[in-house]
Chain A
Amino acid sequence: MALLEVAQSQFGPDPVVGDGRGEVLVRLHRVAHTFGNGTRALDDVSLDIRRGEFLSLVGPSGCGKSTIMRMIAGLTRPSEGEIRMVGAEGDRQDVSIVFQDATLLPWRTVLANVALPLELRHVSRREREAAARAAIELVGLRRQIRVLPRQLSGGMRMRVSIARALVSHPPLLLMDEPFGALDEITRQQLQNELLRIWSQERCTIVFVTHSVMEAVFLSTRIAVMTPSPGRIADVFNVPIPYPRSDDLRTAPEFSSQVAAVSRSLHRNMAGEASC
């Protein structure tokens, strides 16, 4: 916690460090991965994740986006290359993850679900419930605190899942297509909220999506990936300032960014029969 505060003070009140000049938090160095069945999932991926940035990985399914996430989370070991967590507080203990499926435990209330990461670290009940309450407040579910997941809508479940990921104030938050299963309205709402939370919490987010618009709306930086085997084809800085509101979705600068990223995607897909 103290270390995190020190880190925050380094970039002051403005959360935008989208120019790729921030301090490196995670470094992927020539990472490659081959699955047990011989499928080459990733090939020679080098990428620096910088403190405070909102980095999106965009690409078609099967380009190894999720594999990169799993590697950073420590769920999969790269078969080649290395992943380094930089900084004292950057050990794996402080990585949180949000999956496309909210992955809530159906027998636990919202409060108990959100408190889970702290419970697994043997944080005392009083402390973890206080932290869980704060996180639930942050995602706007104060009234649902004692409710079971089945009584919530898909969007609310995702909010709980995000609150759970934030409860330990992780410096690095991994989100693997978190809004992929939601309807468009809920999706845009949660995108707005995620930006608010990101600027409030000052965390670093790595966000996997296959929606270019989502990536442009949210990110400071976008890495475009190509499939079989997964590679990083292009990296874009998104120079649109924060806070970003719904008006941006119809703004010309937004469309031109989306077009640029889309062109890169299509250019790199040429010759690939991906669907």
Chain B
Amino acid sequence: MLSDSSTGTLVQTPEARRRRFRGASWTRAWWPSVWPPALAFLVAVLAWQFLPGPMGLPVYILPTPTAIWATVVRHGPEFVSAIVLTSVTSFAGFAISAVLGVFGALVMAGWKPLERTLYPYAIILSTVPIISIAPLVVIWFGTGTLSILVITFIVGFFPIVANTLVGLQSASSTSVDLFRVYHASKLQMMLKLRFPTSLPFIMAALKVTATLAVIGTIVGEYVAGTGGGNGGLGYIVIVASNRLETAYVFAAAIAAALLGILFFALASLLSMRVLGSWHESAMKAEQ
């Protein structure tokens, strides 16, 4: 066969070529799904920029992208601090609801009568529109950050409890039998079988509630936001729309949307980290 040195180069070359080819095919595979929406975005922004003027639409109805950008620059620090405040509140509320939701579900699942009693309420409470109880929260906790945090928390908590409970029940009966044959304790069954089995359900719930948390915070800021340079994006939307500062409303709405996307991306990243490859591929195999 070949000598060591020549094997080295021969082995490297096809490997390198394959790597390059894989890179090329990756772009080729993604390009068709990237450029149509990108083009649509460009066309929409250009139309948005150049059509309202000739059509006679006043700037308080539909401000152009450049007008929105100008507003962002003008409000600079206030706008940035609003983004930071909304992000921090959303994240804190989301984190608290995730931790307490999962923990609450574990406690409920650990004692069957408790679960049977509370599970229907977790479902019911997770379907209550947050906007309908937000004013109540303000009555109880006053205007300000605490109320906003509570509203964000409520939005996330019940879906996470409900999903985690379903996940904790989803271990297959044979795997439960297996643990029973080996005399697993209730705690072992929970930590080594039921909790890991529920992780895909928990992660799915976190992805949904991550975006819900941003909505919850904005709703909270609508009803409980305070001003004085201390309001979040929701507060800006309310105030700016009252003043007919439409460009600023747009800026806040776009920022809120981007925040929601960012939160979703973070939750997806967490999900990929936690589940690794075992669950995604298991789902593919089932399909």
Contacts and interface: CB of A to CB of B under 8 A. Distances in A.
Given A73-B181, A117-B182, A120-B184, A106 B193 contact: no
A148 B196 CA distance: 15
Contact of B182 (A101, A116, A150): A116
The residue among B182, B281, B285 with the most chain A CB atoms within 10 A of its own CB is B182
A103 B279 CA distance: 15
A82 B192 CA distance: 32
Nearest to A102: B174
Interface residues of A, number: 23
A105 B181 contact: no
A71 to B, nearest CB: 12
B282 A150 contact: yes
B174 A95 contact: no
Main secondary structure of the interface of B (DSSP, over half): helix
Nearest to A101: B174
Nearest to B185: A120
Interface in A104-121: 105-107, 116-117, 119-121
B98 to A, nearest CB: 20
B175 A105 contact: yes
Given A148-B277, A150-B282, A96 B181 contact: yes
A92 interface: yes
B244 interface: no
Contacts of A97: 177-178, 181
B278 interface: yes
Contacts of A87: none
Interface in A75-107: 75, 92-93, 95-97, 99, 101, 103, 105-107
B25 interface: no
B199 to A, nearest CB: 8
A120 B278 contact: no
A112 to B, nearest CB: 10
A99 B181 CA distance: 12
A106 B174 contact: no
A107 B183 contact: no
B276 A99 contact: no
A106 B281 CA distance: 10
B180 interface: yes
A228 B276 CA distance: 47
A243 interface: no
A140 interface: no
A154 to B, nearest CB: 12
Contact of B175 (A103, A148, A150): A103
Interface in A224-254: none
Contacts of A99: 174, 177-178
Contacts of A106: 278-279, 282
Interface in B192-213: 192-193, 196, 199
Contact of B278 (A73, A93, A107): A107
Interface string B166-194: 00000010110111111110001000110
Contacts of B179: 120
A121 B181 contact: no
B282 A75 contact: no
Interface of B: 172, 174-175, 177-184, 188, 192-193, 196, 199, 276-279, 281-282, 285
18 contacts: A93-B183, A95-B181, A97-B178, A101-B174, A103-B178, A105-B175, A105-B196, A107-B196, A107-B199, A116-B192, A117-B182, A120-B192, A121-B182, A148-B277, A148-B278, A149-B278, A150-B277, A150-B285
